[in-house]
A and B are shown apart, each in its own frame.
Chain A
Amino acid sequence: MSAVVKYADVEAGAELPPASYPVARLDLIKYCGASGDFNVIHWNERIAKAVGLPDVIAHGMFTMAQAARYVTDWAGDPGAMTEFGVRFSAPVVVPDDDAFVSIEVSGTIEEKLDGNRVVVALTARSGGDKVLTRSRAVVRLP
């Protein structure tokens, strides 16, 4: 965890360092159990393909959690988020192999608001696709 970022030290337009988060099939199984979302498309290749997906896909909420971590690791206080919204623009495809798939997250300080709040615009990519678009988090900084 990084030190807490201060509102006065943040500049609109600044880019945050990108980060990469690995995901393997086992992570999706864990996320099924932890979240209670056992939709078959997140663990069953046979049914995922039968309903027209390329393979098993990650829960959108798993990808959103990686984007949340990106912001909270930067801000330093996970409780500082006041708004967080994402659009799932493409699935994160997670094949049954021994390699990890990467979710690459990047962010920009889009705007400074009153009340010590800043808007972070986020993008996430995986396998060459943009998997999160129109994604924004608002965090309140000290």
Chain B
Amino acid sequence: MAVNKDYAGRSFAATEPYEVSRVKIAEFATAIGDPNPVYRDRDAAVAAGYPDVIAPPTFPIVVTMAASGQAIADPGLGINYALVVHGEQRFSYARPLHAGDVVTAQSTIETIKTLGRNVVMTTRTEVRTVDGEQVCTAYSTLVERGTAGEAE
């Protein structure tokens, strides 16, 4: 099945509010093997000038994937996720996420292009607190390998 290029430019609804928790941050930090105390110890985080434990720089992907996942899972887009690899990722941060933040993520498919046999899709996902504070923006490039040129 071919990817539907008409989805370029399409925006998706913001996710339900996600509450960033100390437990989830600690779990994530352990999974990436990073022992930094500001991810686990509230006192260490406060001493470093933060209101609570902060999340590692790549943690926002937990929130943004829920939003971009909506796009990927949309049957009208026609992506086979097993064929998808991550091409590029970029974050622009206003500040780190910290425990207690309640945020939503809202994705837009910016471009869908064919590159040889691959389909390359770029998305932009905005992470904001429920009070409207911009926290970070995530830019993802996803590559569906070897499907371009297949019969519609």
Contacts and interface: CB of A to CB of B under 8 A. Distances in A.
Contact of B96 (A52, A69, A78): A78
A83 B37 CA distance: 22
Interface in A12-50: 21-22, 27, 30-31, 33-37, 39-41, 47
Interface residues of A, number: 42
B62 to A, nearest CB: 6
Contacts of A85: 88-91, 139
Interface residues of B, number: 41
A88 B86 contact: yes
Interface string B19-56: 00000100110111110111100000000111000101
Contacts of B93: 81-84
26 contacts: A34-B28, A35-B31, A35-B65, A36-B66, A37-B65, A39-B81, A57-B85, A64-B58, A65-B32, A65-B34, A68-B57, A68-B58, A69-B32, A69-B33, A78-B39, A79-B48, A79-B50, A79-B54, A79-B95, A81-B91, A81-B93, A82-B93, A83-B91, A87-B87, A87-B88, A91-B85
Interface of B: 24, 27-28, 30-34, 36-39, 48-50, 54, 56-58, 61-62, 65-66, 81-93, 95-96, 139, 145-146
